[in-house]
Structure 1
Amino acid sequence: MRKERYSFCTECRKECLYRLQNIERQYDIKGKKYNMEVTVAICKNCGEEMNIPGILDLRAKEVDEQYRKIENIISICDIEKLMKIYHIGKAPLSLALGFGEITITRYLQGQVPSKEYSDIMRRALESPKYMISRLQENKGKIGKTAYSKAMKAAMELGDLFNLSEKMLSTISYIFEKTYEITPLALQKLLYFIQGIYMVFYRTALYEEDCCAWVHGPVYEKVYELFKTFQYNPIDDSRFVLLKNRFQELSKEEKEVIDLVIDTFGMYSGKVLETITHREGPWQSARGGYLPMERSNVVIEKEEIFNYFKEISEKYDFSSRDGIRKYIDRQLEVI
């Protein structure tokens, strides 16, 4: 049962019930006007706005978050992630990025960074290579221990993300468009995206080859990146590095990924595995192997293209309905 909310109404001069609602207000920030949605408390007795405890702090937070989003300014949460993934403290991070020693401390306390400094922090968050270059450039300003820890973390992250830009951008977009995803489901979506993209544009979206593993087509470097999650959804602060990479994808590339997510993406990794097990490319590459026998045989891109071209002509993969009909057919009991 929801607890009723009371506070003192200055108009009614007594304790009154109130309701919270969102309204749009205009704010002038640094000489520029912004329309923002904020929370207000409305007295249920007189209908006037009430100044309840905590409402001003909540509103300030809402305005701050919306301002940062509109102006593409890094959030406090992402600055904290930046410290976490590189195992570095506030002062060493400030110096490593070329800022004053207490700059990061001020930002964590709520000061809004300039667009220039925000872009530097965001780039460090998204690119271990960039962070390595900043650490090397400012090595003399940072203590040896802090430098070593941060450099080690940056190098390890750089090794983890040893994938093509298109692959990283595709994974980033999948993360953006799905509520949660397991490594197994991710592998299969990447495979279907590659196949359908090749049918539409006669070229591969990403350069990586996939192998015919026991559980279906697998991109080995992607497997190494997410293997610690096993059959659980992927959730880790390190992967904030992938957050905005999808912006590099073209409209056509995003359309193909959306097509796959809206169809194949409705199913679990195990169901998608079943579908790939009934397809020619995986079956052909697994020829001669026992069901649970390990194999690193590559599923050739030409095989993938030829198969998807054939089934696309039969089911019309330019439409979601056509793909759904194909999925239904693959899942029929044989």
Structure 2
Amino acid sequence: MMNKIVFCPECRKDLKFSVKEKVDSAELRGEIYEFTSKTAYCDECGSEVYVPEIEDENLKALYDAYRQKHGIISLEDIRTIPEKYNIGKRPLSLLLGWGEQTFSRYYEGDMPAKQYSEKLKQVLADPNYYLSLLESGKENLKSDKAYEKSKAVTNSLLNISFSPLPTLELVVDYVLSQCQDITNLSLQKSLYYIQGFYYAFFGSFLFEEDCEAWVHGPVYRDIYKRFSGYCYNPIDTVAEPDISNMPVEEKVLLDSVIKHLCCYSGKTLESFTHVETPWISTRGNLPAEVSTDRIIPKQIIGDYFSSVKDKYRMLTPVNIKDYAQDMFSKL
């Protein structure tokens, strides 16, 4: 976490500072690149101050611009790989046929060559390819435990493609089984966030059903009707449904939304959705109090939450808490 106090040479003491962003440009490897840079200013005198963490961010932004132009895998994606496959950096480097420290250097920020980048992209995108590397290179690993742990996680990832997706009703029952004092209003918003973040992390939609841009935010009409008799009262808790066929990754996502978003009231979640692109763009110029049955296009939901995942650098669904806390702080 960045220190919010820094020494100001003009004031000659430690003070708080503010950060401003601007479009900047710099030369890297003989080419000029544009990127968004940050500058820190003393809150008391307004002079520019040096903050090491901000300088590191600026350097990373420059390198990110280079990576994007030349198709080099991002640092965030590199750091996702060991976590995704539950493998250490050194063992992973050996599985890739590289020196023990090569992947660690890339993990810390060194720029991989194009051919190394393409191999890392394939590993990240294709669990089958990674599994083939794991099987062919397991003799290079220093422990059977590392092999077994990574294989178990990889097999779980591969099962995502073959497991039937939970129905909307199954997810509803699971949310109700885990939550107390959840109203129809907050349930609707929870389903919307599950749909959006599911797409952001897995690249497909969990529900076939569409939601509509109602006055009080996104609503799944049939689910709303199912619980309309509760009005603003909490829905009765139900027994946990059978989720034995649900992949572990999907359950982790559901649990993260439940933990980090269902803790807020329905009105708070409504306020969140009212400043998000899917609801705003679907309603267009409609007055706030006017009802509509306009469907929020799934792709708008998917694109928005994919951008949220990128903005908050979410590596796993656990990072949903960062978005929730930031949204709440802005109310």
Please report the TM-score for the alignment, with normalisation by the length of structure 2: 0.48
Q: State the structure with more CA Rg.
A: 1
Please report the TM-score for the alignment, with normalisation by the length of structure 1: 0.48
